[in-house]
Structure 1
Amino acid sequence: MRSVRALGVALLALGWAVAPAAADSPSASPSDDDAAAPTEAGTSFRTATEFDPGQTATANGSAGDYLYWSFPADAGRRPTVRATVKLPDTHAAETWQIDVYDGLRRRQACQYGSQTRTAPADAASVELACTMRTVRAWSEPWADDPLPGTYYVRLTAVGLPTSDLGLPVSTEVRVDVKEIGGAAAVDGALAEPLVPGAAVTSEKDQEDSAVLSSIEPEDGWASGWWSDRWVWTAVGGALAALAGVGGYALTRGSGRPSRP
C-alpha cells in the first residue's frame, strides 16, 4: 500500500509540473497596435504590401482592381485571412473573392470560410474569410502542402458588371494565426523558408526600388520547433517508468510468504 500511495503522489506532482510547461509553449500572439499597419495595397505579387499577423491592413481602390498583400506564416501555425470590402452607396450585385498563395505562388485551398461572396445591390459591405490548412515544416516535393514562408493575399471582384467598374471601394484585411502545437509536428524541416518574392520600398526623394522581401515572423523562422509533443513524450516515458516501479513493488509485496 505504501508503494501505491507513493506512486499516486508522484503522478500528481508530475501533472502539476507538466501543466505550466504545456501552457508556456510558444504561440502567435497578435498585436493590438495597428499604428504601423499599411494603408495601401500592391497591384501584383511583386508589389504586394507586407503586413504582420494581428495587424489590420487597409487600402482604398476601385472595383475591378487586383489588391495584393503578403504576410509570413511559420510551421505549426494555421492562418485565417479575413477581408471586409466597403462598397459605395449605389452599386449592382457584386461578387468578391479572396485568394491565398504561398511563396511559390501556388494557390492554397481553404479549409473553411466564405472565400467568395456576392453582395446584393446597394449592400453596404461584404465580408470574406479563408482558414488555411496548418503550415507544415516539411513536405514531399510533389505535394501542395502549405510550407513556412511568405503568403500572398489577393482580393478582387469577379464577374463585375460593367456599370460598377471603377467605383471607389475601401478594404480591410487581417490575418489571425492559431498555434496548433504538436498535433501538426512532422519529422523534417525546410532548409530555408519559401520567401522568393520581392518587395518595393520607397525612400524620400528616391525612386522605388525592388528588394528581396524581409518579411518574417516576430520570433523568427522555424520558431515552432518546440511543441507540446516533446512534453507529452517525456510524460509518457515518466509514466511508463513509474508504472514499472509500482508494478515491481506490488509483485514483490504479494510474493512474500506470510508470517505465521
Structure 2
Amino acid sequence: MRITRVTRVTRVLGTALLALGLAAGPAAADSSPSASPSDDAPTEAGTSFRTATEIEQGQRATATGSTGDYLYWSFAADAGQRPTVRAKVKLPASHARQTWQIDVYDGLRRRQACQYGAQTRTVARGAASVELACVLRTVRAWSEPWANDPLPGTYYIRLTAVGLPVSDLGLPIGAEVRVDSKDIGGAAAVDGSLAQPLTPGIAVTSGKSDDGSDDGDGDGKKSAVLSGIEPDGGWSSGWWSDRWVWTGAGGVLAALAGIGGYALTRGSGRPSRVPPGA
C-alpha cells in the first residue's frame, strides 16, 4: 500500500514538473533578442549628440569620414538587455601609429562603463583596420537618482581617434558599427520602472508638415524634435519578467511537496487493531 502511494506521488510530481517545463519554455524562448535589421541601413554618421544617426539593434551602419572627426550614432535599449557595441574602422593605406576609442553614453549623456571588450585600441603604422567592442552593463528598469546605472532609453555611440599626430589629421577613413543585445531576463529584474524612458536624443527635421505647408514659425526653418527610435514592440512596462514564471513554479512545487509528504506520512485510514470492548 505504501509503495503504491509513493508511486502515485512520484507520477504527480513528474507530471507537474513536465507541465512547468512546457510553460517556462515559451517564456525563455521569448526572452531571446530578435534582430530585425532594415534594408535601408544608414550610410552616414552624425558629428554631435544632436545630429547622431539613429540605428536599430541588429543593423549594420556604415559611414565615411576623416581622422580627427567625431562620429555619432544612437540606438534604443530597453530594460533587461545587455547591449554590445562593435565598431570597425578601415584606415588609409599610409598612416602613423593611431589610437581609436569607442564611447557609449546614455540618454542623459552620462558615459557608461564597459564591462569588457576592447574599447580602446592602438594600431601600428600602416595597419589596414582596427576593431573595437564595448559590452555594457545590463539595462535596469529603475535605479536610484544618484546611481549611474544604465536605464531604458536612447544611447549614443561616439567613435574617434585620440592623440593623433598632425600628419594624420584629415585622412579618409571608413567606419562600421553594429549593436546587438542579449536579453538577461528575470535575473536583472527590479521592483520598479521609469515613468518614461530616457529619450532626450535630438533629430533635426524640417519645419514643414507633410502637405508642404510650414508649421509653427512659417519660415520653413528646421526644428528639433525628440528622437523617434524605440525597441521593437515598444518599451516594456518594467513589471513583467520570467522571474514570475519561476516564482509561480516554486510555489506549485512547494504545494506538491506538501501534498506528497502528507500522502506518505498519513495512515492507511483504518486502525491497526480493534480496541478492547468494541
Question: In 2, Cα distance between the equivalents of 1:162 and 1:94?
Answer: 11
Question: In 1, Cα distance between the equivalents of 2:18 and 2:74?
Answer: 41
State the TM-score, normalizing by the size of structure 1.
0.93
Deviation at 1:135, TM superposition (A): 0.3
Residue pair 1:115, 1:130 contacting (<8 A) in 2 also: yes
The 1:98–1:20 alpha-carbon spacing in structure 2 relative to 1, beyond 3 Å, is farther
1:49 paired with 2:53, answer: yes
Deviation at 1:208, TM superposition (A): 4.7
Matched position secondary structure for 2:154: strand
Residue 67 of structure 1 is matched in structure 2 by: 71
Q: 1:177 aligns with which of 176, 181, 200?
A: 181
Aligned-pair Cα RMSD in Å: 2.1
Residue 261 of structure 2 is matched in structure 1 by: 247
Residue 85 of structure 2 is matched in structure 1 by: 81
- Counting only pairs closer than 5 Å after superposition, residues 38-187 of structure 1 correspond to structure 2 as 38-187=42-191
Residue 35 of structure 2 is matched in structure 1 by: 30
One-letter code of the match for 2:110? R
Residue pair 1:85, 1:171 contacting (<8 A) in 2 also: yes
The 1:20–1:224 alpha-carbon spacing in structure 2 relative to 1, beyond 3 Å, is farther
Question: In 2, Cα distance between the equivalents of 1:112 and 1:175?
Answer: 15
The 1:257–1:18 alpha-carbon spacing in structure 2 relative to 1, beyond 3 Å, is same
Deviation at 1:254, TM superposition (A): 7.4
Question: In 1, Cα distance between the equivalents of 2:22 and 2:63?
Answer: 42
The 1:168–1:236 alpha-carbon spacing in structure 2 relative to 1, beyond 3 Å, is same
Deviation at 1:19, TM superposition (A): 2.8
The 1:19–1:201 alpha-carbon spacing in structure 2 relative to 1, beyond 3 Å, is farther
Residue pair 1:87, 1:168 contacting (<8 A) in 2 also: yes
State the TM-score, normalizing by the size of structure 2.
0.87
Deviation at 1:37, TM superposition (A): 1.5
Residue 7 of structure 2 is matched in structure 1 by: 5
Q: 1:16 aligns with which of 15, 18, 21?
A: 18
Deviation at 1:34, TM superposition (A): 4.6
Question: In 2, Cα distance between the equivalents of 1:17 and 1:208?
Answer: 58
The Cα offsets for residues 168-226 of structure 1, whole Å up to 9 and x where unpaired, read as: 00000000100001100001111110011211236999765422111100110016643
Matched position secondary structure for 1:183: helix
1:210 paired with 2:234, answer: no
Residue pair 1:199, 1:213 contacting (<8 A) in 2 also: yes
Question: In 1, Cα distance between the equivalents of 2:143 and 2:203?
Answer: 26
One-letter code of the match for 2:242? D
Provide structure 2 residue ranges, at least 5 long, that are not aligned to the other structure. 213-219
Question: In 2, Cα distance between the equivalents of 1:224 and 1:53?
Answer: 20
